[in-house]
Structure 1
Amino acid sequence: MGALDGRVAVITGAGRGIGREHALLFAREGASVVVNDLGGANDGSGADTGPAQEVVDEIRAAGGKAVANTANVADWAGAEELIAQAVGEFGKLDVVVNNAGILRDAFLAGMEESHWDAVIAVHLKGHAAVLRHAAAYWKSASKAGEQVAGSVINTASASGVTLPNAGQANYGAAKAGIAALTLVAAEELERYGVRVNAIAPIARTRLTLATPGMGAIFAQEVEEGEFDAFSPANISPLVAYLATEKCPLTGKVFAVQGGAISELAGWHDVKVIETEEAWEIDDIAARLP
């Protein structure tokens, strides 16, 4: 008896890294999985059907159910096609895991417009596009009288919510936007029976290995039999739990790395200054640290 028996899940960026681990675990736990991956390089260039199909083949060889999808989630029509494939293949949709991402790191003074546009498109628009079409499906199902128990798990990052990283203005902005999108979507979709949460994972992937200043940390070898704190497989159990039908959580953002999971909170007051009259610049300068 798997934790996700009978659930139908779409997982984006599932051909490699963290997304691949999600897909494999979901299938082992009984879910039918649409493995989405464009198959591009770290920077989003190119396309290859191989990664998605290889994960599907691995799932099927183990007795699971999966189909491949190579649509570009940054394209509105591609995201619509992805959701339609899940419903067409398996008869319904229960879970969306937005995970696809790329890197085009650059310092602001030298960042090109294409660096900004590509990262925002794949991360932020890619999340929004898939979420939009999944939401439309769940809204229609709910209004038709179906009992919806949907779940969305988005992928933010420490770079966007807790640990700003120089050289990643585009990536950090996109990931912060994803955290905000998660909270808004949780408010909107609750009425249709859908929960929306996000994770901010830290793990060894081809993207983190390519992050300036971080690659050497993630590349450290682990002795056989020791716990690998940076294995991407450590991330997936939390995502699987958030995807279960009975999980009550919504509107949450969790940092997850190795054996640690922590709930994150957003912007909040740390110091307040007030006046009963119009502000004076010198007054602000004297009172605001």
Structure 2
Amino acid sequence: MTDQQPLNDKVILVTGAGGGIGRAIALEAAKAGARVVVNDLGASLGGQRESSDAAAAVVSEIERMGGTAVANGDSVADPDGARAMVRQATDAFGRLDAVLNNAGILRDGFFHKMTYEDFDAVVKVHLYGSFNTSRAAADVFRDQNAGSLIHMTSTSGLIGNLAQANYSAAKLGVAALSKSIALDLARWNVRSNCIAPFAWSRMTSSIKVDSPEQEARVNRMKAMVPEKIAPLALHLASDAGADVTGQIFAVRNNEIFLMSQSRPVRSVHAGDGWSIDAVRERAIPALRAAFVPLDVSADVFCWDPV
């Protein structure tokens, strides 16, 4: 690690960093000069605790390559756990410069079969988890008059996907949360951005393969390694990214996208107000050409990644 590293002396908390995208970001952050808090609950894909070794294993990898890191096993879904991991960062390293909200679970199922428990668990980790860690970090960032929050959203929420009502709702909520944070904390030079990552990881390994088309899609995803997400994430965490806030990006292999955010696309007006009949006869026909189709993410990102 040299003085020329883009994250030299920065302290970064990465949640869900025991594997996949989180692990890749934690390792790359350390290579770029950051001191890293590696958080992982050691849970299964569905959120059941399995092992306490995941975070420690990544810390060992970082230390073997000459970096500095500490392990944390708290749950992002627990506000006390989120406060504990932020406190661990400041206790160990004296400050905290960025939080990458990456922790997540999946409990997929079609909406008419989804239980309250499966909806609640996924929203708690993704949306409440992002709130909990961001809220805990906000006090530190305000005192420092600087800080960066990077949240992992998903095209499942931004565009849509089958059998993921819980995950999609949480991930679209994360995008709205990020925008609100960016607005509320701008006066303290705190920025907040989202990334929708395309990468093969434990989260995407649960995709059902029930057709040749799905098999081909999964094979394309397997070529998109988690390390491809790290450069954008770590730029947003660096001082060089200090002028970027309130944005939603997507990363797919070697492509970086800026995603749109909801804005009016077409309007109709009735000077004397609308009746039910007028809506049927005039408003809907005039607006229909701009209706959003029932796309899923794969319909929109339908070309092979490069």
**Same fold judged by TM-score > 0.5?**
yes
Matched, 1:235 2:232: no
> Structure 1, unaligned stretches of length 5 or more?
143-147, 223-227
CA distance 1:183–1:204, change in 2 (3 Å)? same
The one-letter amino acid of 2:155's match is A
Aligned to 1:55: 58
The one-letter amino acid of 1:220's match is N
Aligned to 1:11: 14
Contact 1:157–1:175, Cα closer than 8 Å, also in 2: yes
User: What's the secondary structure of 2:266's corresponding residue?
Assistant: coil
Question: For 2:254 and 2:277, how far apart are their aligned partners in 1?
Answer: 49
Matched, 1:155 2:155: no
CA distance 1:111–1:261, change in 2 (3 Å)? same
- Correspondence for 1:130 among 130, 133, 147: 133
After superposition, residues 1-289 of structure 1 pair within 5 angstroms as: 1-139=4-142, 141-142=143-144, 148-162=145-159, 164-213=160-209, 216-217=215-216, 219-220=218-219, 229-247=223-241, 248-287=243-282, 288=284, 289=288
Deviation at 1:47, TM superposition (A): 3.6
Percent identity, aligned pairs only, is: 42
The one-letter amino acid of 1:21's match is A
Question: For 1:131 and 1:221, how far apart are their aligned partners in 2?
Answer: 33
Question: For 2:140 and 2:146, how far apart are their aligned partners in 1?
Answer: 12
Question: For 2:190 and 2:56, how far apart are their aligned partners in 1?
Answer: 29
Contact 1:218–1:230, Cα closer than 8 Å, also in 2: no
* CA RMSD after TM alignment: 1.6
| Count, aligned residues | 277
Deviation at 1:213, TM superposition (A): 4.6
Contact 1:6–1:30, Cα closer than 8 Å, also in 2: yes
CA deviations on 1:30-54 (whole Å, 9 max, x unpaired) are 0000000001000001241211111
CA distance 1:47–1:188, change in 2 (3 Å)? farther
Contact 2:200–2:223, Cα closer than 8 Å, also in 1: no
The one-letter amino acid of 1:264's match is M
CA distance 1:204–1:218, change in 2 (3 Å)? farther
Deviation at 1:217, TM superposition (A): 4.5
Question: For 1:82 and 1:218, how far apart are their aligned partners in 2?
Answer: 37
Question: For 1:152 and 1:59, how far apart are their aligned partners in 2?
Answer: 22
Question: For 2:206 and 2:161, how far apart are their aligned partners in 1?
Answer: 13
CA deviations on 1:73-106 (whole Å, 9 max, x unpaired) are 1000000001000000000000100000000001
Question: For 2:64 and 2:220, how far apart are their aligned partners in 1?
Answer: 30
Question: For 1:236 and 1:218, how far apart are their aligned partners in 2?
Answer: 23
TM-score (norm 1): 0.92
> Structure 2, unaligned stretches of length 5 or more?
289-306
CA deviations on 1:188-223 (whole Å, 9 max, x unpaired) are 11111211111001110011010235973565289x
Question: For 2:105 and 2:264, how far apart are their aligned partners in 1?
Answer: 33
Question: For 1:275 and 1:230, how far apart are their aligned partners in 2?
Answer: 50
User: What's the secondary structure of 2:239's corresponding residue?
Assistant: coil
The one-letter amino acid of 1:35's match is V
Question: For 2:216 and 2:37, how far apart are their aligned partners in 1?
Answer: 32
Question: For 1:173 and 1:188, how far apart are their aligned partners in 2?
Answer: 22
Question: For 1:200 and 1:221, how far apart are their aligned partners in 2?
Answer: 17
Question: For 1:45 and 1:87, how far apart are their aligned partners in 2?
Answer: 29
TM-score (norm 2): 0.87
CA distance 1:31–1:232, change in 2 (3 Å)? same
Contact 2:127–2:173, Cα closer than 8 Å, also in 1: yes
Deviation at 1:266, TM superposition (A): 1.5
Deviation at 1:229, TM superposition (A): 4.4
